[in-house]
Amino acid sequence: MAAQTPDLDTPDASLTADDSFTATSSAGLTYPWGDFAPGQGKVHRIADGISWARIPMPGSLGHINSWLLDDEDALGTGFAVVDAGMLLRECSDAWKALFAGDLADVRVTRVFGTHLHPDHIGLAGWLCKRFDTDLWMTRGEWLTARMLISDVRDDVPPAYIAMQRAAGWGEDVIAEMSSRGWGRFGKMVFEMPQSFRRIEAGDVLQMGQHRWEVVIGSGHSPEHACLLNAQSGVLVSGDQVLPRISSNVSVHLSEPEADPLGEWLDSIDRLLGLPDDLLICPAHGEPFKGLHTRLCALRDEHHRRLDDVHAKLKETPLRAVDCFPLLFNRPIGGHNRDLATGEATAHLNRLMADGRARRDLADGVYWYRAA
Ligand SMILES: [Zn+2]
């Protein structure tokens, strides 16, 4: 199935999938374009005011979607880029192919980072530099990104080691963690501009003929921006709402007593106030409809897991690492160990905040019990 040649100047106001696509549905969601995705150098118009490019990435995610919003500034028309990919040759080559392909002679007017993770902002600074334009983010995401990039040191901080030990990791794993060194975040992100343009909840940005409202979520990251175009019926959702995978919700070293899962569940409740028939443009996976179905599924899944952990705590004390079989259906080790430990701790912190669990420290290890 060949991708249509996008017409960048004539927006297609219709959200209906055109005839060359077969809409599919699964788990109550509808994918108007089925499993289609724009190929190398290609941009696909998906609704009035927004086009879609896909940036390939290694690893299990395999890609990130970059959403291109019609924009206009003093120099003329162009695109605002939402999320840019990681600082990897594979990602920058994909952009170069776009600039030699469907985006030839198209100007980038500004760059948005929905949130601080390197697959989203890794090439944001590179695009800003290339087009001499600004980076737009929330203050929470910007500051956290700058903090992590600046935290350069040779050795893994003792507080991180203590946190991993408290979660229940043994000395063999601790030794391996120590040997990896510190400061990987900065290596995945191109130098960011020294200044940024702040966006915050409720801001309405006029871009070209369109108004985009900033909708904030939290839990996956501190102050995650989504962009809502009520007129076109589109939500650019970043990682706040993903169709097929559950976004990681983790406790991090910078705030060990945080309750990100509480923030995540609150965000889901807020997002349920948005219209159900929006076209959701996620950072990973295909654009879909069925926002409320997806949000309820994510919410119910977390509550089920919280209940499972709580039930087990009534039987026996557990460490964070003991919760993995209750939370994940895949083996934990190596690359996913940090995410799993952070997410297990997030569930335990939620249970404690809820008064359903308490913990004791014994020999540097946290043991959780039902309260
Ligand atoms: Zn993310």
How far, in Å, CA of 18 to CA of 27, rounded?
A: 23
Whole-prediction pTM: 0.92
Task: Using the mean position of ligand 1's atoms as its centre, give its distance from the Cα of residue 187 in Å.
Answer: 16
Task: Using the mean position of ligand 1's atoms as its centre, give its distance from the Cα of residue 165 in Å.
Answer: 25
Task: Using the mean position of ligand 1's atoms as its centre, give its distance from the Cα of residue 114 in Å.
Answer: 9
Q: Which two tokens stand for residue 357?
A: 């669990």
At residue 346, the 3 state secondary structure works out as: helix
Distinct helix (H) and strand (E) counts, the chain: 11, 16
Task: Using the mean position of ligand 1's atoms as its centre, give its distance from the Cα of residue 95 in Å.
Answer: 20
Task: Using the mean position of ligand 1's atoms as its centre, give its distance from the Cα of residue 218 in Å.
Answer: 11
Task: Using the mean position of ligand 1's atoms as its centre, give its distance from the Cα of residue 105 in Å.
Answer: 30
Task: Using the mean position of ligand 1's atoms as its centre, give its distance from the Cα of residue 282 in Å.
Answer: 11
User: Max Cα separation, the chain?
Assistant: 66
Contacts with 275 (C-beta within 8 Å, 6 or more apart), sequence order: 230, 233, 291
Q: Which two tokens stand for residue 167?
A: 């979660």
Contacts with 251 (C-beta within 8 Å, 6 or more apart), sequence order: 258, 260, 342, 345, 346, 349
At residue 69, the 3 state secondary structure works out as: strand
Task: Using the mean position of ligand 1's atoms as its centre, give its distance from the Cα of residue 354 in Å.
Answer: 26
Task: Using the mean position of ligand 1's atoms as its centre, give its distance from the Cα of residue 362 in Å.
Answer: 34
String of b and e for 77-92 (b: at least 16 CB within 10 Å)?
Answer: ebbbbbbbbbbbeebb
Determine contact, residues 56/62, Cβ cutoff 8 Å: yes
Task: Using the mean position of ligand 1's atoms as its centre, give its distance from the Cα of residue 82 in Å.
Answer: 13
Fold of 26-370: Metallo-beta-lactamase; Chain A (3.60.15)
Task: Using the mean position of ligand 1's atoms as its centre, give its distance from the Cα of residue 221 in Å.
Answer: 7
What is the residue type of 131? F
Q: Where are the domains of the chain?
A: 26-370
DSSP of 178-204: HHT-S-HHHHTSPPPPS--EE--TT-E
Task: Using the mean position of ligand 1's atoms as its centre, give its distance from the Cα of residue 104 in Å.
Answer: 29
Task: Using the mean position of ligand 1's atoms as its centre, give its distance from the Cα of residue 115 in Å.
Answer: 7
Task: Using the mean position of ligand 1's atoms as its centre, give its distance from the Cα of residue 18 in Å.
Answer: 31
Task: Using the mean position of ligand 1's atoms as its centre, give its distance from the Cα of residue 216 in Å.
Answer: 14
* pLDDT by 10s per residue, the chain, length 371: 333 222 222 223 333 334 456 777 778 999 999 999 999 999 999 999 999 999 999 988 899 999 999 999 999 999 999 999 999 999 999 999 999 999 999 999 999 999 999 999 999 999 999 999 999 999 999 999 999 999 999 999 999 999 999 999 999 999 999 998 998 899 999 999 999 999 999 999 999 999 999 999 999 999 999 999 999 999 999 999 999 999 999 999 999 999 999 999 999 999 999 999 999 999 999 999 999 999 999 999 999 999 999 999 999 999 999 999 999 988 888 878 999 999 999 999 999 999 999 999 999 999 999 99
Determine contact, residues 63/87, Cβ cutoff 8 Å: no
Report pLDDT for 20.
Answer: 58
Task: Using the mean position of ligand 1's atoms as its centre, give its distance from the Cα of residue 247 in Å.
Answer: 7
∠ CA(81), CA(85), CA(91), 5° rounding?
115
